[in-house]
Amino acid sequence: AVAAFGADIYQWGYQAGEQAVKYLKTKKTEGLKTEMVKVRKRVYNSDAAKKFNISIPSNFEVVK
């Protein structure tokens, strides 16, 4: 793939950890809810972009 937009997996895990802490402190599920990941990233593969001669907008970051 040349580019992608989606959930930041690290952030998703962090959010899940926050919910786990709430449960472990209270032993109650009240107040816990499913939620969408709060941070999404726009990334691109610089080698693929060069190969296909595609210019990528500046709000995308290179995949490391």
> What tokens were used for 37?
């990941």
Q: Give the residue from 40, 39, 56, 41 showing the smallest Cα distance to 2.
A: 56
Q: Give the residue from 13, 3, 20, 11 showing the smallest Cα distance to 55.
A: 3
| 48: enclosing H helix or E strand | helix 46-51
pLDDT tens across 26-57, in order? 999 998 989 899 999 999 999 999 999 999 99
Residue 61 reports pLDDT greater than 90: yes
Mean pLDDT of 9-35: 93
What mean pLDDT value characterizes the chain?
94
How far is C-alpha 54 from the chain's CA centre? Answer: 24
Domain boundaries, the chain: 3-62
> What tokens were used for 28?
């109650």
Query: Is the distance from CB of 42 to CB of 6 less than 8 angstroms?
Result: no
pTM of the predicted model, to two decimals?
Answer: 0.66
